[in-house]
Structure 1
Amino acid sequence: MTDLQAKYQRLASEYSKLRAQIPVLKKAVFDEQENQNKLKDVLKEKEQVIRKYEQEIDSLSFRNQQLSKRVLFLQDELESAEVSKKKSKKGGDEHHHEPQNSVGASSVFGEELKSKIEENAKLHKQVQEAEQMYKSKLSSLEENLSKLQLESAQHQEVLNATVQSNKTQTDKLQEEKAMLEVRLQSVEQEMKEANSRAQIAEGKLDTVSTELQFRLENANRILSTKLPFIDTKHRHLNSLNVPTHDRKHQLRVKELVSHSVNLVKELTQGLSNFYTYSEQRSKIYPCDSSSEPLSPVNAKYCQYLHENLGFLRPVEQSLRHFMETLKEDSLTTLETAVEVQALGTHFRKLVDYLNRLLPYQLLSIDEECALSSCPSTLEAKNRELYTSLKKLNAVFNKLETYISIITSQSKGESFRHPPGSYGSIFKQLCSCLTDLHEAVKEVSKHYNSKVSLEHQLPTATQKLKTTDECIVSSLVTLVTTTGKFSAFLTGNQDFFEEPAGYRTRGSSVVGGLNDINQSNPIVATFRQQSAAYLSSLTRPSPETVPHKVALQNRRILLSSAESRDSLAGQITSFQEKVNKLEQDKEHWMLELQLLQIKYEKEIQKGKELSKKLEQTENAHSIGSIQDNIDQPPVLPLSGATDSTTTPSVQTSLLGKLEVTPGGSDTDTREQLIKNHFSGRVNELTSQLQTADSKAVNFLAEVKALHKRLKIAERAKDGAQEDLRVTSQEITQLRDELQTTTRSYEGQLSMMSEHLAGMNEKLALQKDQIDELTVQLSLAKGAKKSRK
């Protein structure tokens, strides 16, 4: 069924393509007809020009005859004038006036004769030029006619070959058509059966929908009449009702919290970089830990600095967890934000860590100042950095106070501040953040000046310089982050000061100003628990295994480890089989696409053959034209449209006209031109169809390549995700390795110190024993001497 529908869709698409090609072909035919008309007009103009030339030749020949007659007449008159002149010489003076007149007349006749001869020569030249042009045009037309005759013969041979080759294909196509018609009838019967089934299913669907609609109405009626029991009479119970609130306020809260999460992430990242690079610096300066042991102060300082992520990361994670707990269907205020209490505890731990870290920072600065290579200017800069670090720690302590006040509002009534004082609390918080920005800026300035002086010392190594540059860059990021945080809070201070946009049911007073009207924080948790419970009810129950089967499977798995290995091997083999099957599936999908393209090409070929069969019906007329082609016709010299012969005129230099009879067959010539252009149109249509089939083939290939590209991109994304996970695991393992190596190094140093102390104690005890033995020997010698 699906294959037939796909084939019908393909046939419809092919039909639509052919319908789209019809206007293009019509336009091409009309263009060819216009070109033929234009060629006919040009041919008529040329024939008119030839007629004009013939008329000119006739007029010139007639003029030539007149001029020849005039010349003969003038020659006769000249002879008579000469005779009369001779007679006049014999006469006397009495006849003197008459010869002068005869001489003047003879001179006039001579000039006229000379002009006529020149005019006759010019006319002869024009006649010769016209004859040359006529001969050249006649030769070119004869050449074109021979070429066209050869092309028509070749086209006729190709046409006969295609007709013979396409007969078998048409028979095959007719057989396939009959088989498709039989299959079409079977499919129509299946469609009728499916329609009857669909009608039955629609009837069942209507009954089920009506029944479900009735049940829904009953459930809604029960919910509206029985379930909503809201007690608005007692104010202490009204605080437990679900409050109505403004969703825009909640969305604004969620947006601000997400922005603050990003800022806190940047701040913790900057502090972590500062402390990490400070740890590297303390291991390099004032003494290099690779060659010399660190002082106890610096060792403890490095130990504290290494623990910075354990206090910075929980602050960011607690705020991110609070952002994830925010819902759009509940109102979040300081009283209902129970999850924000973790932020206060973690920030308090961070500030305690900073308070424990500050003395070691100051002692490390004192050690740097105590060095012999430290000049007085550098010592002054260190003292400035000393005071700026103290100020920064004081600002953190002040900031912790206000953050603890804000986060403790959801603990209970004993920890709450009145809502009217929220504005002053947030103002103080904004001022603390501005002070933090200024303190960090001051630390960055003093540290930068300190580093610039240190780098001028001859004892400054390249490793120290690069570490100092990293510390300065981390301080610059801290300055920009604290500035963003301060601007963020000052810009949204009005929103933090305004009361919460909710009201309890049964009361018209907006909450936030009266404690009686405020909602209980437990309402949000109740709402979340009920939503989770309802969602759990809609989940399908997982498939269970009988208890006996589970125990048996557990015994089998626990009894032998070979079963696990076999299962692992089976899993790997199954995965390999699945991968091979997926590859085979992709291969056969591509093969299916190629076969579809071939099928479409065959359909196009069938349509082309049907068109060519229609064209072969005009083959009989072409056969009659072929007979005329065997005897090439003579092109007419005049533009007459009838089939009468017109004489062609040839002139000689002596002025005599010779007329030769010639014939023309305009109908045959026009039929040849028409057949030539129709063959050209058919050739262009076949080229267009082959181009369309190639385009369809290329489109299918592009689609297949696009699918492969998507699969490769998915595989790439998966590989990148695996790479990211493995890189995270590698970093964690490296951190654990560093911590373990440091702990082992500390234990080894302690053991070495203990062994050194024990060796000293043993040496002292040995010395004491030697002294005692010497004393004993002396005492024994004294006793012997006394005896």
Structure 2
Amino acid sequence: MEGSPGDLQTKYHKLAGEYSKLRAQLVVLKKAVVDEQTLNSELKESLREAEQSLRKADQELDSLNFRNEQLTRRVTVLQDELDALQNQSKNKKSKLKSQDGQHPTDFTNHVIDEEFRKKIQENARLLSLMNEKEDQHRQELTNVTSQLDQVSFELSQLKKNSSDMEQKSKSVVAKLEREVSCMREGQQQLADVTRELAQLRQSHADYKNKMETKVATLSAVISSHLPFIDSKNETLNTLNVPRVMETKGSLSSSLGEDLRAALQQMAASLALWHKVSEARLLTLPTATSTANSKFAVHLKESGELALEMERFLSPSKMCKTTAQRLPGLFASYCSHVETMLVHQRLSVEEEEEIDLTDESLRESNRVYLGNCSQLVSHFVQVNSRLTLYRSMQHSSESQQKHQRGLISLCSQLQDSFKDLFNAFVVKSGIETERSWSTEQLNSANQSVTNSLSSLMESSAKITKCLRELWKMADTMAPSHPLVSDLRRRGVHYINAIHTDEAPTISYSQALRDHEEAQNSTKVRETLLKQLDDNKEQLVRAEQDRELWKQELQLLQLRYQKEKEEIIKNDEFTSLVNSTVTNMIGSLEVPVNLPHEVEAREEAVKQYFRQRINNLIAENGDLQSKSAALLAETAALVRRLEASVAAGM
């Protein structure tokens, strides 16, 4: 039973709520991604405007540099003229003429100095203005670049988070869908099991009533037709069976229960031994080696087999079917532990490589491996003895021989566990004194010691129970040949009763199943044909999508080429027509693209973007339809197979 329908409904509502939350989170993340993409496009536009202003500032800078050179040349010419005038004044021979000409020369020098000072001031002002423009442009460019980097980083983080959340939501949705389907199947199985349980209870009640009626009838027959029952003899019961035999039967049942409990304890102790041995491997310095990894895998498999034997030996599971499966499980366990010996030897050799000079540890490992080999050998001998005992009919002498051999093997198995316990105690004591010993290793060694002690105890109980059963069988008087024949006939009768009859169905039910199978076959053929048509449509849609994608790439390439040509032509035109020349120099005006070109470009982009979105939506619709059709076809195929199986 997996659970009640109320629990399944509650789990289903919880899963539906989580699914709706994930869908809401996905919508919010998609909106955030769209907003970030819009912000990124706006920042790119602002960056483009900043680049245009940068080009404009560069052009102004070039113009100012040109004007500065003109002023420098003008100052140089004026300085040359001033030097020439000074030389002419020195060549004057007469003092009068020089005095007479002093006033015009001083006036001319004063004018030239004034003009030169104005030019210098204007040049300084232009240089300071140019430096301010450069600093302002550099700062704006730095701010815009930092903003762009930050927005790009945030956009990449949002895209990454969105993709992660989308993948997570997809995995969660798939997991929820699987759990919902499992819950539905569990509900269906629960309903089927409930119906079967009701039918079994009804059949059990009918069978119980029938058996009670038969018992009452037989009791009446015995009481009326068998008057020779000696009720005065206290040593006999109502069936003339001696009470001593009844006591021996209860004693044998008690010993059998003790033997089952001892076997269950041994299986549990074996599983614990393998588990703690695997944990001990992880605490060794050579835990990551290949030999230890393989040895751990074999320990895990052997522990699982021991746990399965322990589960089959439990009182609730012990029945005829599980008893028949126990020998096969024990044989598998013996083969696993035989294979495990090789990997155990390799693992112990790697332990010895930690300290090659430690002879005491090497000797203890040799003794421990020898005891393990002896234990596995005894397990194999017990399995062989049981297989031989079950494979053929034996006489009483042969049965006694096999029983004595089995008890002897169990006693040897007990001695092997004792020797293994003593060898491991010595080995763990030596390991405790080593430098590479840890607290985890000591704790694991203690756990292994406890499990071996439990194995010694359980093996002693098994040997004791077998000996008591053998003694009780020897003390019982030999039965009459007629009693043996009656026992054999009774066993044959009980086996015949327990044999399952072949299931049969009515003729009308077979006809209905046959008609349903034929109808299901026709429906399946029709659905398969529809599925093929939908697959062809899906293939055509994929081909159209690829074709449109190729056309879009081709148009993008053509658009890129046209754009590059337009940019080249505009640059050439701007170089020719955008230069303004006057008396103070030339100035280049930045070129602005016409708004019609940008609008036409945006319209083309919008058209192809809308077309791609439409194709993606059509592709998604086709995929959802094909998935629904596949699910419906799979359900009909399962119904058809069930109908065919019922018809057969």
TM-score range with shorter-chain normalisation? 0.3 to 0.5
- Higher share in helix: 2
TM-score by length of 2: 0.38
TM-score by length of 1: 0.31
Larger Rg: 1
